[in-house]
Amino acid sequence: MEETTGYSKDEREKSKTTSFVLPPHNNLMVWSILITIFCCLVGGIIAIIYSSNSNSAYNSAIIASDDYAKQSLYYESEKNNKTAKTWIIISVVVGVLSVIASVLFFACGAAASMAAFPKF
C-alpha cells in the first residue's frame, strides 16, 4: 500500500538531509599535550580535557541527523575549544613567568653567596 503524504520518495529522502555545513574544526589537542609536557602540568591537563570534549562534540555534530543538533553540537565544540585555548595561554604565561622567577632567584642567590665570602 502506497503512502499518501503528497511527497514522492525522492522528496522525502531529500528532506532528511541537512543544510547546515560544518566549518573546519581547529584541533588543539597537540598544543594541549605539548603544554602539559613542557610548561604547566595542571593547566595542560585541563586543556587536554576541554580539547577532548571539543573533539567529541565536533565528531557528534558530523554524524547528527538534523540541523539543530548539528548547530548546537558545533557551538558546544567551539565553546570547549575556546576554553582549551584559554587554558593553553594561561599555561604558557605561567610557564614563562616561572622560568623568569627561577632565573632571578638563582641569580640573586649566586650574587648573595658571592658577597658573603671575602675575597683574598
Condensed to tens digits (0 to 9), the pLDDT of residues 84-119 reads 999 999 999 999 999 999 999 988 887 777 766 666
Residue in this structure with the C-alpha cell 570547549, named with its chain if needed: 80
pTM over 0.85: no
Q: Which residues contact 101 (CB under 8 A, 6 or more apart)?
A: none
Residue type, 90: I
Which residues make Cβ contacts (< 8 Å) with residue 6, sequence separation at least 6? none
Task: At 73, list the grid cell.
Answer: 553540537
Phi, psi of 23 (to 5 degrees): -70, 165
Q: How large is the average pLDDT for residues 21-27?
A: 86
Nearest to 25 by CA among 69, 66, 76, 65: 76
Q: Where are the domains of the chain?
A: 23-116
